[in-house]
Amino acid sequence: MRRPAARSRAIGGRASPRPSGDRPSEFRSAGGHTCPPVDWPALVAAARAAAAHSYSPYSHYAVGAALLAADGAVFSGCNVENASYGLTNCAERTALFKAVSEGRREFAALAIVGGTARSPALPCGACRQALAEFCPPSMPVAVAPLRRGEPVVRPLGDYLPFSFELSR
């Protein structure tokens, strides 16, 4: 997980839509299935609970993620560091790999918590590419501070506009 430079609440300098607790978001998966509405407060809370399990003795930078599968199941993950930094696993990939290992292949939303409101944790390049393997560019991704604060929601495609793709 990389630490982004300080920036405004609107990540990337653009105004970002904020989740509404009153109106759940609707979404269609890459397979065309209607996904459950996104309960952003619950998804962010699951990511914060996962961050409490972070193993980050080197960076002291805890990150949590919660991935909502198209069937409504939530898979959470935290970052797990290693003295050999290349072996570190980010929270987003932990959640994704847990979901895939349990048979899920379609996802509706992702919440990531870490950092502060001024400098939230954003997915690293490896996480962005791993998510692009299973999630459409339109999938909503909420980024929120570790402790408390409102998430900012943007589509996955905004984080990785030119993902690597192979024909299947």
**Per-residue pLDDT reduced to its tens digit, 93-105:** 999 999 999 999 9
DSSP state of 162: T
Task: Say yes or no to pLDDT of 152 above 90.
Answer: yes
pLDDT at residue 7 is higher than 60:
no
61 vs 2: CA distance, rounded Å: 10
What does the alpha-carbon distance between residue 83 and residue 63 come to, in Å, rounded to a whole number? 17
Q: What are the two backbone dihedrals, phi and then psi, of residue 98, each rounded to the nearest 5 degrees? A: -60, -45
User: Rounded to whole angstroms, how far apart are CA atoms 144 and 159?
Assistant: 15
Report percent pLDDT > 70 for the chain.
Answer: 77
Written as six digits, the tokens of 84 are 């050999």
Identify the structural domains of the chain with CATH numbers, from first to last. 30-157 (3.40.140.10)
Task: Name the band, by pLDDT with cuts 50, 70 and 90, for residue 160.
Answer: confident
Helices and strands (H and E) in the chain: how many: 4, 7
Mean pLDDT along residues 11-21: 37
pTM: 0.80
φ/ψ (deg, to 5) at 75: -120, 125
Catalytic residue list contains 81: no
Reported as a pLDDT band with limits 50, 70 and 90, residue 163 is: confident
User: Which of these is catalytic: 26, 81, 92, 133?
Assistant: 92
